[in-house]
C-alpha cells in the first residue's frame, strides 16, 4: 500500500499525466520517482494510484473512443485493437481504470500458487534508450487473488475483453505444469474472453522445459478441451534469423493442435554486461522496449505468412502510430504495450490511435478491410 496521500496538486498531475504524454514525462513520472526508490516501486505506485483515483480518471475515457475505422472483430469479439500487455497489471488489480482507455486487457502472468520472484531490486528503466530491464523471476500473487480481482472487475461492470496470461510451472515434472494449467483455465474460464499461455519468460529457468513441440501440442489440446470457444494464444519470445525454423515449428505445433494464434514477442534475454544500471545482481535480464521492434516485425510478418487465419497480437516497443500501422499491415490483428506506457504514460495511446486513424483515412480503408481473416 502507498505510504502517503496525494496532495491536490499531485492528484492533478496524475490525472493530467493520463491524458498527456508531455505532462507525464515532465511532471507525473518525476513526481513518482521522487517518492519511490526504483522502477518497480514506481510502477506499483502507479497501479495503486490508478485504482484509488479511478473516479477522477473515468471522465477521460471519452477521449479514448476510437472511430469505426479502428474497430475490428476477432473470433466474434468486437473491440478496439489496442491493449495493455501482460506484465503491466500482473495481479489484474487495475482492470477497471485500464478499461477506460484500452480496448482489451491482458493481465498476468498468473501462476497457480503465489510466487515472490527474485530479490529486489530487479527492474531498471533507461528512458534515454526507451528500454527496460527486468529479472523479476515470475512473481505472482497466485490464482485465488487473481480470480477475485477478475470477479471484482466484472461485478463493477467491466466489459472490455480480458485475455488472461497464465502458466503452469514444471516444478517437479511436466505433468505438474499441465495440471496447474488445467486448474487455472477451469477456474478463470467464466470470467475471461481468452487465454495466453506464457512459456516465454527469459528469467525463469524451469520454463525452458516447456519449449518443445510435444509440450506445445499438449498445451494446445488442454486449452481447447477446457477453454472451449475462448481465444487460445501462446506468447513467444524474440528469435534470431537462424532460429526461425525451430521457432515456427513450435508455433505450428500449438496452432495445429487447437491454438488460435500467438502474442509476438516477449522480452529478450541479454547478459548482465548490457544492463546500464550501476549495479545489477543477476547474470542476465529480460530487455523490453524499443530494441524489440525488429524482432516483433520479423515475427509478425513470418507468422502471418505461415498461418493465414491465426490471431496475432503484436507487442514489443510500439511507441508511435506509424510503427503500429506498419505492424497491422504486417499481419497483426491487435497490438498491445507495456514499456511505452511506462515511459510516456497512458496518454501515448491517444496519439497512437489518432495516427493510425489518419493513415487509414489516407489509404481509404479500415483495419477490418486490411485483414479479411479477422472475422
Residues of 78-101 as b/e, b for ≥16 C-beta within 10 angstroms?
Answer: ebbbbbbbbbbbbbbbbbbbbbbb
Note the pLDDT tens digit of each residue in 19-53: 899 999 999 999 889 888 789 999 998 898 888 88
The parts of the chain modelled with pLDDT lower than 50 are 375
pLDDT tens, 287-320?
A: 999 999 999 999 999 999 999 999 999 999 999 9
Residue 326 is assigned to a structural domain of this protein:
yes
pLDDT of residue 372: 63
- The total domain count for the chain is 1
Name the grid cell of 208.
525452458
Residue 23 inside a domain? The answer is no
What pLDDT score does 168 carry? 97
Q: Per the domain annotation, does 167 fall within a domain?
A: yes
Closest CA to 333 of 265, 258, 263, 266: 263
268 part of a folded domain = yes
- Is 84 part of any domain? yes
Q: What is the pLDDT of residue 205?
A: 85
Of 37, 55, 169, the C-alpha closest to 112 is: 169
Domain range holding 237?
A: 69-370
Determine the pLDDT at residue 346.
93
**In the prediction, which pLDDT does 374 show?**
58
231 contacts: CB under 8 Å, gap ≥ 6 = 74, 75, 77, 163, 193, 194, 195, 260, 261, 311
Please indicate, yes or no, if residue 107 is contained in any of the structural domains: yes
pLDDT of residue 12: 81
Strand order in the sheet with 268-271: 123-126, 131-134, 284-289, 268-271
CATH code of the domain in which 234 resides: 3.20.20.70
Residue 261: predicted pLDDT: 98
Looking at residue 3, its pLDDT comes to 55
Amino acid at each position: 500500500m502507498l505510504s502517503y496521500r496525494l496532495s491536490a496538486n499531485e492528484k492533478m498531475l496524475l490525472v493530467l499525466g493520463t491524458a498527456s504524454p508531455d505532462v507525464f514525462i515532465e511532471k507525473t513520472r518525476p513526481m513518482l520517482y521522487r517518492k519511490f526508490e526504483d522502477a518497480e516501486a514506481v510502477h506499483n505506485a502507479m497501479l495503486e494510484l490508478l485504482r484509488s483515483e479511478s473516479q477522477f480518471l473515468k471522465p477521460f475515457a471519452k477521449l479514448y473512443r476510437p472511430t469505426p475505422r479502428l474497430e475490428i472483430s476477432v473470433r466474434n469479439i468486437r473491440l478496439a485493437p489496442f491493449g495493455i500487455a501482460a506484465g503491466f497489471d500482473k495481479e489484474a488489480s487495475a482492470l477497471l481504470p485500464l478499461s477506460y482507455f484500452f480496448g482489451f486487457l491482458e493481465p498476468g502472468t498468473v501462476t497457480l500458487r503465489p510466487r515472490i520472484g527474485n530479490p529486489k531490486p530487479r527492474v531498471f528503466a533507461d528512458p534515454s534508450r526507451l528500454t527496460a530491464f527486468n529479472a523479476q523471476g515470475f512473481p505472482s500473487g497466485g490464482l485465488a487473488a487473481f480470480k477475485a480481482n477478475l470477479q471484482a472487475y466484472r461485478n463493477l461492470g467491466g466489459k472490455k475483453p480480458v485475455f488472461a496470461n497464465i502458466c503452469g510451472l514444471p516444478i517437479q515434472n511436466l505433468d505438474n505444469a499441465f495440471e496447474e494449467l488445467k486448474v487455472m483455465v477451469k477456474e478463470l474460464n467464466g470470467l475471461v474472453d481468452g487465454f495466453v499461455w506464457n512459456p516465454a519468460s527469459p528469467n525463469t529457468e524451469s520454463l525452458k522445459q516447456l519449449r518443445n513441440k510435444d509440450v506445445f501440442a499438449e498445451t494446445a489440446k488442454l486449452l481447447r478441451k477446457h477453454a472451449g470457444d475462448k481465444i487460445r494464444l501462446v506468447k513467444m519470445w524474440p528469435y534470431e534469423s537462424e532460429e526461425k525454423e525451430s521457432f515456427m515449428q513450435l508455433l505450428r505445433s500449438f496452432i495445429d493442435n487447437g491454438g488460435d494464434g500467438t502474442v509476438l514477442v516477449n522480452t529478450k534475454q541479454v547478459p548482465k554486461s548490457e544492463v546500464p544500471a550501476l549495479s545489477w545482481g543477476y547474470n542476465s535480464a529480460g530487455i523490453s522496449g524499443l530494441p524489440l521492434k525488429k524482432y516483433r516485425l520479423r515475427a509478425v510478418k513470418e507468422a502471418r505468412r505461415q498461418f493465414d487465419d491465426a490471431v496475432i497480437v503484436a507487442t514489443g516497443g510500439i511507441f508511435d502510430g506509424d510503427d503500429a500501422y506498419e505492424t497491422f499491415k504486417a499481419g497483426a490483428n491487435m497490438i498491445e504495450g507495456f514499456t511505452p506506457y511506462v515511459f510516456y504514460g497512458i496518454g501515448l495511446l491517444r496519439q497512437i490511435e489518432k495516427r493510425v486513424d489518419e493513415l487509414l483515412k489516407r489509404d481509404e480503408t479500415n483495419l477490418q478491410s486490411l485483414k479479411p481473416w479477422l472475422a
